Amino acid sequence: MSSLKNSPFGKRLRASHQENEVESPSKRTRPRTNSLFGAPAPLPGSTPSLDSSRPTTSESGGPESPFDLRNQKEYGDRFVPSREVGDLRTTYHLMDDAKSSTPSKAKMIPTESDALREQANSLFNQVLQTEVTPVSPQRPSSPVRPAATASTVPPTTPTRRRLFTYNSPSAGSNPATPTRRLDAPTDEAYAMSPVRAESRLLLESPRRQLRNVCKTPYRVLDAPELADDFYLNLVDWSSTNVLGVGLGACVYLWTAHTAAVSKLCDLSNTNDTISSVSWVQKGTTLAVGTLSGRLHIYDANTLQRQRSYPQAHANRIGALSWNAHILSSGSRDRQIHHRDVREATARPFKRSSGHRQEVCGLRWNGDSNPQSALLASGGNDNKVCIWDLRGSKRPGLRATPGPSSTAGSSSVAAAGVTGGEDGGDIPLWKFHEHTAAVKALAWDPHVSGVLATGGGTADKHIRFWNVGNGSMLNELDTGSQVCNLTWSLTSHELVSTHGFSSTTAQNQICIWKYPSLDMVASLTGHTHRVLYLAMSPDGETIVTGAGDETLRFWNSFPKKDTNEAKRESRLDYGRLIR
């Protein structure tokens, strides 16, 4: 022990203790500067804070540093960690995330990752239910106490029996004798899995594969002066792969396969503004509606105007739809006019008056079937009307609207009157379920007579109708304003664009599987309401437009991989012939 005291290490240790004892009080309380943060070090005994954004103060009033250099003990030439003063949370940076106690209002619409999570949660719940409450047909029933009889049996002395029997029971000797369960090689006692056979069957069963959709647009185009107006329709894609866009007083054409841009018309000299554009189903004819109620017909090949209707409507034309050579226009004057563009007359051959406010959505059923003459219209009066311009009538129905036996609060009206300019002004069906303006309309190309409609900010629902009997098939609460709808041409899926919302994420493009209405994908990128939507003629790409003055192209429905079809079959003996 004396050798340790006289060693150089012992001398340095005694000298350090003597310096600490003769240190003045003023020197002890003087704050020491931390070279890492440039702040005074805390005094001994104070607790460091994990919140670096809010400085803490000691009893002396000075700010504290998360590291105390004075509390570190000196161990000479060796480093011995001291765990009694260490803070593991600070050492390993395990700081709590700053989470608000109140729930966020920006709740996301379920994306495909949420769909995977829901699928996994559903499978987990099924396995958990199977494990906790197994359903076994061989489960023994609970013993039932026999009812006491009136006659009492006197106790008797039991006969002497052997307590232990070593004979093996046979399977068919006594029905009450249990079978040898462990003799079966498939018994659960021999299973290697920790779960039951029913749970293994659930885990090993094939599950539905969710389609992977690209979440980023492959092209973004600037669209200056693209109006942020819910009641306008300024984007449409033709069958010849040309995109028509109304920007301010001009209409521009963008050719998809060459990316060439050309100006179709400029109405600035008439102080007018484009309010709607619509391509004919097959061809290069484009209809253009304006805010002043004018209607123009253009040929995209020659960039020339073919027809013009100066007084087509008394107010702006917000919706256009074609059915072969028939052009239907909906206006703020609450009227729907039908014109045959082959005739030079300016007057419509038929008018439809079924809305009490602006007509903001029109869509013809373009299927080549007996129902192809049906027109769907949506208005700012929250109503959806189905029109039949052929003048057919349904038996047993009158012009007076009445409640439908299958559609709940839907009302049914007789079909339009045959002949005459004002014929067909009574809708075939009229639906009242929506509680906001209905602009989004889309006919199902895969199932005849199915119509999808979407409501505005106060409604937030997509509803599906069977126009054959006027019944509502299904409804979907999207949680946000439905601005537009379109069906996929290659799969039975529906695309919806959204805007304002108080509880969910805004400005999204959603893809839904029909009829299960499961979320396939949710696309984000726009910073304003996604008011405009169109699909390419091949059905692979959708284009969306918003008030942020951008057009975004999404490859949402790519072609399936045909590598398997291109493989050479061993049964194809034709390729072996030289």
Which residue shows structure tokens 């000196």? 74
Q: pLDDT by residue (tens digit) across 333-348?
A: 999 999 999 988 889 9
Q: pLDDT by residue (tens digit) across 152-167?
A: 556 666 666 666 655 5
| pLDDT > 70? residue 371 | no
Residue 45: partners with Cβ closer than 8 Å, 6 or more residues away: none
Q: The dihedral of CA 506, 482, 555, 279: what is its sign?
A: negative
| pLDDT > 80? residue 100 | no
Share of the chain above pLDDT 90, in %: 48
Written in H, E and C, the secondary structure of 18-37 is HHHHCCCHHHHHCCCECCCC
Of residues 321 and 40, more confidence is placed in 321
What does the block give as tokens for 476? Answer: 């979907």
The confidence score (pLDDT) of residue 198 equals 84
What does the block give as tokens for 202? Answer: 């659930």
Share of the chain above pLDDT 70, in %: 63
What span, in angstroms and rounded, lies between the C-alpha atoms of 330 and 439? 11
Mean per-residue pLDDT, 184-202:
80
Type of residue found at 85 = V
Lowest-confidence range among 58-62, 232-236, 415-419? 415-419
Confidence band of 467 (pLDDT split at 50, 70, 90) = very high
Q: pLDDT by residue (tens digit) across 513-568?
A: 999 998 888 999 999 999 999 999 999 999 999 999 999 999 999 987 655 555 56
Of residues 321 and 207, more confidence is placed in 321
Which residue shows structure tokens 């709940």? 408
Of residues 1 and 461, more confidence is placed in 461
**201 contacts 191 by C-beta, under 8 angstroms:** no
**548 contacts 527 by C-beta, under 8 angstroms:** yes
At residue 368, φ and ψ (nearest 5 deg) are -90, 70
What does the block give as tokens for 126? Answer: 């099924």
Q: Shortest CA distance to 377 belongs to which of 392, 358, 405?
A: 358
Of residues 59 and 236, more confidence is placed in 236
What span, in angstroms and rounded, lies between the C-alpha atoms of 361 and 351? 16
Lowest-confidence range among 66-75, 118-127, 458-467? 66-75
Q: The dihedral of CA 435, 498, 254, 239: what is its sign?
A: negative
Which residue shows structure tokens 């046979």? 170
The confidence score (pLDDT) of residue 105 equals 36
Residue 305 CB neighbour total at 10 angstroms: 13
Domains of the chain: 222-392+424-482 (2.130.10.10)
The confidence score (pLDDT) of residue 119 equals 75
